[in-house]
Structure 1
Amino acid sequence: MTTITLSFDNGPDPDVTPQVLNTLRCHDLQATFFVLGDKLRDRRRLCERAHAEGHWIGNHTFNHLVPLGMSAEAGVATAEIVRTEALIGDLAHERRFFRPFGGGGLLDRRLLNGEALARLQSEAYTCVLWNVIPEDWMHPEGWVERALALCFAQEHALIVLHDLPTGAMKQLDRFIVSARDRGASFQQDFPASCVPIERGRLVSPVDGYVTDLAA
């Protein structure tokens, strides 16, 4: 039987995030919201609501402009992580979740640079990746079928969706209902295979995700 873990990146959005929260509440599901610091500054109440309803809040960098592994300027990666964590504040989970920007969902060495890796380790972050990218931002009307196919190819799927104003999250209810009708269960915690760093400790190889391990 397939287990699905829901996660939402790039919010919060004043219109879409409440819609997502309402849908999750209707189905009694908890997810993780990986938020951008630049958006969180003016929309923290949305994250406060999510946190109060049992959802986890994670760090997804401040600007989300360039994957950290593509940044060679000293201090940039640290700032992207630290500025957002400061804004999350007491909404952070004790495991301090961080998800790098993948540039289209690719799992490669662009995710992190050596500076970012060092910060995640020294500050005891838990790095959360993914194994299902249905590209909802590109296919707001048709992502559900792709998501179902990808999820049911996994024993435990960690899906990345986006609470952005693309119209895609109007299909969230249909996805949840369809997945359950096919026998899937939902779980908030992540598959171990998608967590290479747990509270700062390397639990699986990260060479394929880091541009310069010696930086």
Structure 2
Amino acid sequence: MIKRIKVPGWIIIIFLAVGIIFGINQVVAKVLEETSEPKEKIEYSSVYPGLNIKTKTKETDLYTLSVSQPYTENKQINKPIDEWVDKQKKDFTTGIKKSGNFLKKNDFRAHLNIQAETKKIADKMYTLKFEAYQITGGANGITKMRSFVIDLNRNKLLQLNDVFQLNKESVKDIQKLILEELHSNQKISNYLFDDMVEKALKNPTKWKWSISRKNVTFYFDEYEIAAGAAGAIQAKVPIKKMKPYLKERFAKKINVKVPDKENSENEEQHAEDYAELDPDGKYVALTFDDGPHPDVTPRILDTLKKHDAKATFFMLGSQVEYYPTLANKVEEAGHEIGNHTMNHQDLTVLPPEKIREEVQKSSGIIEKATGRTPTLLRPPYGASNSNVEQVATDLRVPIVMWSVDSLDWKSRNAAAVNEEVMSNVTSGSIVLMHDIHPSTADALPQLLTSLEKQGYQMVTVSQLLELWDEKGVGPFYGKVG
């Protein structure tokens, strides 16, 4: 027999029924929502195409930290930026460990603030100026500065020699402009230490700099060149004073007109060739003739990049005419490009006017493809005479031969190439190879590894000539083992 439900029981049943119905309605509504037209997703783009920014903050009893950091989708560009930021964090952490007792005793919190100022130079070209301020105890903190110039069109972090024509004379001129700017600023001039300024300006590869259409700015950390009262220092040199040293190709990108200079391409060494080499170091100049070759040259470039090695490519105008993009790729990778004439003729059997034509025609084609005029000449077959030397003198182009022949043109064997080079190489050698033989590309990885194990650094021919302070037309052969 079914028991009759009392009134309070009915009330409970009614509430349960209402709850079930409400729950079913919610489920149905959710299903309908999910199966209906998707909502429009709004994406917010950076005002700096190709750049984004991330900000990290942290707070503890001992310190506060705030880091704003622009970044790109290119890991190679991000890497040096990340490394600099990480270095500031590491220094800050070390400072906290040393000052821990002071911080606790004085109820003082340490601070690290890294901020970045982004300036657009041209389309997808930016300057990032970082300023890191940290204080881990005491009355004063310290400010450090770093700048990065980015060209996202080429996915490249620009170095000073990508922007400026650097040789001994131009570097001296730029140093003078920076000094003038520093001493003209009355707020900092009295705090400068001349010996520290000289040290900071000595090596251009270590300069911290940025560029805009108005100024080239050079940055110095607090205490780097002056007393602490001067703080972190910026020396802004007007772009009009820097125009003579700008590379024409870069100047065009930022819409700055470079003043014409008669024969300027032959008066200055290329920027990529500038480097301060240790006179006691072990250096080898690897050279590649007869290219560029669409199959072999890219393989050689990849291997050189993996070993962070530089080389000199003596190109034929006839090859560059067919593969201008590949020639430009060699230039963009930071290698030196020399002239190997237009058609690989034996120049010693030609009259002077034909020699000049072979050199100048090739030079013009290389310049059109790469944006630079080659400043070195290697005669085909290493054949030279008084006529060849006179043309080279007239054109102010040094003749470069070699001291070690890999015989890659003869053996066409990777093991034989390595054996020949390693048996004869010495510091200062100029090594002859050809980027038209696949066997040469096969030989290069092991050759570079072997040279590195013996302490050699691979540099360009012009770097060797600069180290030896060689002048004139030559010919230059390098050092023989």
TM-score (norm 2): 0.37
Report the CA distance shift for 1:140/1:204 in structure 2 as closer, same or farther (over 3 A): closer
> 1:146 aligns to what?
420
Query: 1:74 Cα deviation (Å)?
Result: 4.9
Match of residue 404, structure 2, among 132, 137, 153: 132
> 1:88 aligns to what?
366
> 2:12 aligns to what?
none
> 2:313 aligns to what?
33
Letter in 1 for 2:436: L
Letter in 1 for 2:305: R
**Contact 1:100 / 1:112 at 8 angstroms: preserved in 2?**
no
> 1:45 aligns to what?
325
Report the CA distance shift for 1:86/1:35 in structure 2 as closer, same or farther (over 3 A): same
Give CA-to-partner distance per residue, 1:171-194, whole Å, 9 cap, x none: 10010001112232222245449x
Match of residue 112, structure 1, among 377, 385, 392: 385
Match of residue 101, structure 1, among 380, 391, 396: 380
Report the CA distance shift for 1:169/1:203 in structure 2 as closer, same or farther (over 3 A): closer
Report the CA distance shift for 1:133/1:72 in structure 2 as closer, same or farther (over 3 A): same
> 2:126 aligns to what?
none
Q: Does 1:63 align with 2:336?
A: no
Letter in 1 for 2:378: R
Structure ID, larger Rg = 2
**Contact 1:15 / 1:165 at 8 angstroms: preserved in 2?**
no
Letter in 2 for 1:14: P
Match of residue 79, structure 1, among 337, 342, 357: 357
Query: 1:134 Cα deviation (Å)?
Result: 1.5
> 1:173 aligns to what?
445
Aligned-partner SS, 2:380: coil
Query: 1:122 Cα deviation (Å)?
Result: 1.8
| Structure 1 runs (4+) greater than 4 angstroms displaced | 92-95, 202-205
Quote the Cα distance in structure 2 between the aligned partners of 1:99 and 1:203: 11
Letter in 2 for 1:59: N
> 1:123 aligns to what?
395
Query: 1:33 Cα deviation (Å)?
Result: 0.6
Quote the Cα distance in structure 2 between the aligned partners of 1:138 and 1:39: 21
Unaligned runs of 5+ in 1: 206-215
Determine what percentage of the aligned residue pairs are the same residue: 25
RMSD of Structure 2 on Structure 1 (CA): 2.6
Once the two structures are overlaid, the 10-residue window that deviates more, 118-127 or 33-42, is 118-127
Indicate the structure whose relative CO is greater, using CA pairs within 8 Å and at least 6 residues apart: 1
Unaligned runs of 5+ in 2: 1-280, 477-481
Which structure dedicates a bigger proportion of its chain to strand? 2
**Contact 2:399 / 2:473 at 8 angstroms: preserved in 1?**
no
> 2:434 aligns to what?
162
**Contact 1:2 / 1:157 at 8 angstroms: preserved in 2?**
no
Query: 1:47 Cα deviation (Å)?
Result: 1.0
Once the two structures are overlaid, the 10-residue window that deviates more, 6-15 or 181-190, is 181-190
**Contact 2:282 / 2:427 at 8 angstroms: preserved in 1?**
yes
Aligned-partner SS, 2:298: helix
Aligned-partner SS, 1:137: helix
**Contact 2:366 / 2:373 at 8 angstroms: preserved in 1?**
no
